[in-house]
């Protein structure tokens, strides 16, 4: 296989088979040996494991050469290829390798040299059909074969994976083999329409969705799309309406057809909505997420929260660190882009949480001293341990209101003699870029920094006339967030549809002598987009009434973050985020994938801040420091 391009390699990292990352924190020194393991420690065996329908799946088995006792399995299933799996022992699996397991890597159905047909996010099977298969049945059949055909195993299996492999882990939980004793779904998607890779609140994630489908469905291997322009912003703008995409994909690829055929949250998207299947905790579960995950933050936390409703035996755990997508599997986790979190959080997580957790459940080793929720509080740059997430005690709900002249205040605005709103013109012909141009292709572009874009300095849009912003005075004391954040926009548009993008930003003070370029840096703490047509229902969109003021509630997810004394808090609102999000025509059409050039219109957007129509961002402020470092 040829060398995977940089962007695709980052996706393979998300499958636990690559080795780059970001993040950081403070904790004690690793409790396992610092010896660097390697593939040379293992006997490698390559097999094709038969499934119940006759299809065989390509599998690599790494058994420790020096093994003198029966060991459990660690299983990772992936659509991203397993040829480089042995390299994972040097970094991403180093702590587990030192602990001692039989490692199993498998190409899932229809990928690389595994037989069968690949189906993107294959839904759970109909169990009344004895011939039906799904990812749970493939995992079951794999485990059954391993137990019978791999010597010196102790009859226990743990499974983990990041991103798609994390989702495969969740699928295994739904119908687990009795030998599956512990699972760790990491950065798993939960809903591709509500908040993960392909849509956020119904808004289509254009650049990622297009590139991912091209990469995964054009062949059985990793094949990034070959852009003929360096700046993907210009390429996608020149492309025009979404109806022009199939010609660029040399016809129709299955998942793109599904995008265009299902623009709303219909039965198709509801079928792959993971949380509807999570009705019990079947296996001890460790969900892992990164606060600055550019792909699947929503899913990981949502899966934890869904399982928590049924966690009567206290087997559901959550870890969230200062990482991008899969950053905890990297060598250090000290930094995310230009942001330094002060310590190697990736290694800290793997040595002090992940390795002991699997050893406890798979080997019966030691005692489990792990809080239900372990989160990294950036700003303070410290790990916190809690008995729930979001916090149920020790927090006070606060509101930051939008005020006149760009003011942001904890006091609700009074009636003003000036206009009770701020306005800007949103033009689909010149959408706001989601990062500074040129924007390199995400998954195959040479020099792509897609994996760290959430840490970009947001000053690159502060002078645009189509971005509104409000900012607090310099903080006189720390403000620590500890839970769910939501923006409440009272907004109107002259169009009949609109997107609303909200960013919560930490503005660093000027005059940073140690690192001058960080003076005034605008670090995005939380963000998301909401497509206006879905204000009342994701299943049945409705046109907005031009000029009517509506309240739009935008979930900005959860965070553990400390805005330090001397900093400022800033909120930005805009109506495009291109090409991360496709352009909203701003004239309501039943299906944006079928919009014509004439449907794209300029619109005047108003963000209201009058009594009774006061836009604000609400979040829980930690009033008592109840957390502790793990």
**What are the mean pLDDT values of the chain's consecutive 10-residue runs (630 residues total)?**
35 36 32 71 97 97 92 98 94 95 98 97 91 96 98 98 98 97 98 98 98 94 94 98 93 92 98 95 98 98 97 97 97 95 97 98 96 98 96 95 96 85 98 97 88 98 97 98 98 98 98 90 98 98 98 98 98 98 98 98 97 96 60
pLDDT confidence of residue 102: 98
DSSP H or E run through 214? helix 206-217
pLDDT confidence of residue 625: 56
Which of helix, strand or coil describes residue 562?
strand
Judge whether 419 and 610 are in contact, CB under 8 Å: no
DSSP labels for 165-204?
A: HHHHHHHHHHS--TTEEEEEEES--S-TTTTSSSEETTEE
Instruction: Pinpoint the residues of the chain covered by CATH 2.60.120.260.
Output: 395-622
Instruction: Pinpoint the residues of the chain covered by CATH 3.40.50.1820.
Output: 6-190+273-386
| Full-model pTM | 0.93
Give the gyration radius of the chain's Cα atoms.
Answer: 24
Domain range 6-190+273-386, its CATH number among 3.20.20.80, 3.40.1160.10, 3.40.50.1820, 3.90.580.10: 3.40.50.1820
DSSP 352: I
pLDDT confidence of residue 25: 32
Q: How does 302-324 read in b/e, with b if 16+ C-beta sit within 10 Å?
A: bbbbbbbeeeeeebbbbbbbbbb
> Which CATH number describes the domain made up of 395-622?
2.60.120.260
Distance CA 26, CA 629 (A): 8
Furthest C-alpha separation in the chain:
81
Judge whether 426 and 603 are in contact, CB under 8 Å: yes
346 Cα distance to chain centroid: 17
**Token output for 9:** 């390699």
DSSP H or E run through 259? helix 254-261
């Amino acid at each position: 296989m040829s060398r995977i391009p940089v962007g695709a390699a980052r996706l393979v990292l998300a499958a636990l088979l690559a080795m780059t990352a970001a993040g950081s924190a403070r904790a004690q020194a690793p409790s396992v040996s610092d010896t660097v393991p390697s593939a040379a420690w293992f006997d490698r065996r390559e097999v094709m494991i038969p499934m119940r329908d006759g299809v065989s799946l390509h599998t690599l088995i790494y058994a420790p050469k020096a093994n003198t006792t029966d060991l459990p399995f660690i299983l990772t299933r992936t659509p991203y290829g397993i040829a480089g799996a042995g390299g994972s022992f040097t970094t991403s699996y180093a702590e587990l390798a030192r602990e001692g397991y039989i490692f199993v890597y498998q190409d899932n159905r229809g990928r690389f040299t595994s037989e069968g047909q690949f189906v993107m996010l294959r839904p759970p099977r109909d169990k009344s059909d004895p011939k039906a298969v799904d990812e749970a049945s493939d995992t079951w059949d794999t485990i059954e074969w391993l137990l019978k055909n791999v010597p010196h195993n102790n009859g226990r299996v743990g499974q983990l994976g990041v991103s798609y492999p994390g989702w495969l882990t969740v699928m295994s939980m739904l119908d687990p083999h009795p030998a599956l004793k512990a699972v760790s779904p990491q950065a798993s998607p939960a809903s591709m329409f509500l908040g993960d890779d392909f849509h956020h609140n119904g808004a289509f994630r254009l650049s990622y969705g297009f590139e991912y489908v091209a990469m995964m469905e054009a062949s059985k291997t990793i094949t990034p799309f070959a852009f003929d322009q360096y700046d993907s912003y210009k390429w996608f703008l020149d492309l025009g309406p979404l109806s022009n995409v199939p010609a660029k994909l040399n016809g129709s690829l299955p998942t793109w057809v599904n995008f265009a055929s299902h623009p709303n949250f219909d039965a198709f998207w509801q079928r792959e909505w993971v949380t509807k299947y999570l009705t019990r905790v079947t296996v001890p579960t460790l969900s892992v997420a990164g606060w600055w995950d550019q792909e699947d933050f929503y899913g990981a936390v949502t899966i934890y929260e869904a399982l928590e409703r049924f966690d009567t035996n206290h087997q559901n755990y959550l870890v969230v660190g200062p990482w991008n997508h899969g950053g905890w599997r990297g060598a250090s986790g000290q930094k995310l882009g230009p942001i330094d979190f002060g310590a190697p959080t990736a290694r800290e997580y793997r040595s002090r949480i992940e390795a002991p957790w699997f050893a406890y459940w798979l080997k019966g080793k030691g005692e489990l001293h792990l809080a239900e929720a372990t989160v990294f509080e950036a700003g303070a740059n410290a790990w916190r341990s809690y008995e729930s997430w979001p916090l149920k005690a020790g927090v006070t709900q606060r509101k930051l209101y939008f005020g006149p002249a760009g003011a942001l205040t904890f006091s609700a605005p009074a009636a003003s003699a000036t206009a009770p709103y701020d306005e800007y013109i949103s033009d689909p012909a010149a959408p706001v870029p989601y990062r500074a141009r040129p924007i390199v292709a995400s998954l195959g572009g040479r020099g792509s920094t897609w994996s760290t874009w959430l840490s970009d300095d947001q000053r690159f849009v502060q002078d645009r006339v189509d971005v509104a912003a409000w900012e607090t005075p310099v903080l006189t004391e720390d403000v620590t967030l500890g839970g769910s954040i939501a923006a409440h926009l009272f907004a109107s548009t002259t169009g009949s549809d609109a997107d609303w993008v909200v960013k919560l930003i930490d503005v660093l003070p000027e005059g940073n002598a140690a690192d001058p370029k960080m003076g005034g840096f605008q670090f995005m703490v939380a963000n998301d987009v909401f497509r206006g047509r879905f204000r009342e229902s994701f299943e049945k969109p409705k046109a907005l009434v031009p000029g009517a003021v509506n309240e739009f509630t935008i979930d900005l997810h959860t965070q553990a973050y400390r805005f330090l004394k001397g900093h400022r808090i800033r909120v930005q609102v805009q109506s495009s985020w291109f090409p991360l999000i496709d352009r909203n025509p701003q004239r309501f059409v039943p299906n944006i994938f079928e919009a014509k050039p004439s449907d794209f219109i300029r619109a005047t957007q108003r963000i209201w801040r009058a009594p009774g129509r006061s836009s604000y961002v609400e979040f829980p402020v930690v009033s008592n420091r109840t957390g502790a470092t793990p």
